[in-house]
Amino acid sequence: MATVTIIGSGMMGSALAFPARENGHEVRLVGTHLDREIIDACRQTNRHPKLAPVFPAGVRFYQIEEIDGALDGADLVIGGVSSFGVDWFGDFALPRVADGTPVLTVTKGLMDTPDGALLPYPVLWQRKLDQLGKRLPLCAVGGPCTSYELAAHDQTEVAFCGRDAAALLRAKRLMETDYYHISLSKDVTGIESAVALKNGYALGIALTIGLNQARFGDDTLHYNSQAGVFGQALREMKKLLALQGADTPDNLAVGIGDLYVTVYGGRTRLAGILLGRGLSIGETKRELQGVTLESLVVAGRVARALRVRAEKGEIDLNDFPLLMHVDGILTGHKPAQLPWEAFTFENL
């Protein structure tokens, strides 16, 4: 039996308590300063307020000021914060983890730099660790996994990535179950980019749902349109992965699987539908107030990086008509209608 400490009791961090605890480990779920009510509720009901199943018996819950006790003796630390908690996790949480402890983070996203690079969060955290002279094997989870379906024990395929093969193998051994299947990759940029790049594309596919609802006046789903955008998304994601030096079949498969689940499972879908129906980005955000739309933030960063690289002459924005269109909608410069002709090709 090992000890697994999860920092951040959002839905995904909490869902990972299921495979960890079912594998017989001691599981300690620590809320951030934003999670105080969640931890209170978990203590009272043994259930996360937004997840249907109760936790397996024996999961222990900690408020943020109890974090040091929760980290004491941990064999694996899971970081379960959102994109908005990336700095907090690096500044507050990681320094408290004992040297040498494998850390596995679920936060999906990329940070753009002024020169148009797109950096995965583990790269940013590694820089902070290097400054502190602290050695923690950083691993991250990518791939198609919604938290509520993981908690429901749905068959799920994910990929753990990290630079330290031994840490990856250890994390896999602690976490894998007969429903949580884990691939391993040392290509951190590849896996992390694949699952972050999907954000703008998931919105693009969801747009078609809203566009068709507005046009046909019903809730019928129209798959030709979704599939047309899905194919274009694949073409653009493959080019973006190549820009990241990471265009491999495995990375693409993880990213495309993640795109597939995001079209259905996520909040991005709802934003896309509202925009497709004709709401402005401001109206959409008001309609979804209180909902974390970190995927839109990440999509905007990718578009911003591409614009920088286009200005430097390194890429042609015409190779990314779908992403740039989505960015135009998000920044309020374009209507939702999609540039369908730009998605065609001629190989003659």
In DSSP notation, 181-233 reads EEEEES-HHHHHHHHHHHHHHHHHHHHHHHHHHHHH-S----HHHHHHHHHHH
Whole-number minimum distance, CB 67 to a copy of itself, in Å? 30
CA distances (Å), 84 to each of 69, 170, 252, 297, 345, in order? 25, 28, 26, 10, 38
Nearer to a copy of itself (CB atom), residue 5 or residue 199? 199
> CA 257, CA 209: separation in Å to the nearest integer?
19
Give φ, ψ of 6 to 5 degrees. -105, 125
Residues that bind a copy of itself in the complex, under the rule CB under 8 A: 143-146, 149-150, 152, 154-157, 159, 165, 168-169, 179, 181-187, 208, 211-212, 216, 221-228, 230-232, 234-235, 238-239, 248-250, 252-254, 256-258, 260-261, 264-265, 338, 340-341, 343-348
Task: Name the residue nearer to a copy of itself (CB basis): 26 or 149.
Answer: 149
* φ, ψ (nearest 5 deg) of residue 247: -85, 80
* Residue 93 to residue 121: CA distance in whole angstroms: 14
Residues 6+ apart with CB under 8 A from 25: 1, 2, 3, 4, 75, 174
Q: Is the dihedral of CA 303, 308, 311, 314 positive or negative?
A: negative
Indicate the residue type of 118: L
Residue whose CB is less far from a copy of itself, 92 or 260: 260
Shortest gap between Cβ of 81 and a copy of itself (angstroms)?
21
The burial class, CB within 10 Å (0-12 / 13-18 / 19+), for 124 is: middle
CB of 6 vs a copy of itself, minimal distance in Å: 19
Nearer to a copy of itself, 252 or 317 (CB): 252
* Contact indicator for 158, 143 with CB cutoff of 8 Å: yes
Nearer to a copy of itself, 31 or 276 (CB): 276
Closer CB to a copy of itself, 62 or 180, in the complex: 180
By beta-carbon proximity to a copy of itself, the closer residue of 10 and 90 is 10
Question: Least Å distance between CB 16 and a copy of itself?
Answer: 13
Bridge partners for 26 per DSSP: 3
> In the complex, what is the shortest distance from the CB of residue 254 to a copy of itself, in angstroms, rounded to a whole number?
6
User: Smallest gap, in angstroms, from Cβ of residue 205 to a copy of itself?
Assistant: 9
Q: Minimum distance between the CB of residue 149 and a copy of itself, rounded to whole angstroms?
A: 4
